[in-house]
Amino acid sequence: MAYNDSIVIQQQAPAHGVYGEADTGLWSTYKTVWAEIDDSTSSVSQESEMPVFEDSKSFKLHTHDAPAVTTKMRISYDSQYFFIRSIRKEGRLRTVLIGSAYDDE
């Protein structure tokens, strides 16, 4: 198993707008880690009148590299953002993150 791809795990940064209101649109780096990446699936779905392309990948990494990863975070990899759909532990040392990227065609 080769962890030879660098990924960036991001979390939403707490921020405030001009008038002090909460702004959740900003993302900051939680941790940069090495991962093994498997292409899972790609599909096109028809939501309303616009086709939406979904690219799913599996990101395997050591558990101690990212101990507090949640499904509220996302992964930045290869100029795409993958929202974490699920987190699975494989033994004591490995965590598998399943992420999906959505692009309008």
**pLDDT for res 50:** 56
Q: What is the pLDDT of residues 22-80, one digit of tens each?
A: 666 789 999 999 999 987 655 555 555 655 567 788 899 988 877 889 999 999 998 88
**Distance of CA 78 to CAs 5, 10, 26, 83, 92, Å?**
10, 14, 20, 14, 28
Higher pLDDT, 17 or 95: 95
Confidence band for 104, pLDDT divided at 50, 70 and 90: very low
**Given pLDDT bands bounded at 50, 70 and 90, which one contains residue 103?**
low
Q: Residue 40 has what pLDDT?
A: 67
Looking at residue 33, its pLDDT comes to 93
Q: Under 8 Å CB-to-CB from 7, ≥6 apart: which residues?
A: 32, 33, 34, 35, 37, 59, 61, 75, 76, 77
Give pLDDT, residue 13: 81
Q: Does the domain at residues 5-104 carry the CATH identifier 2.40.10? A: yes
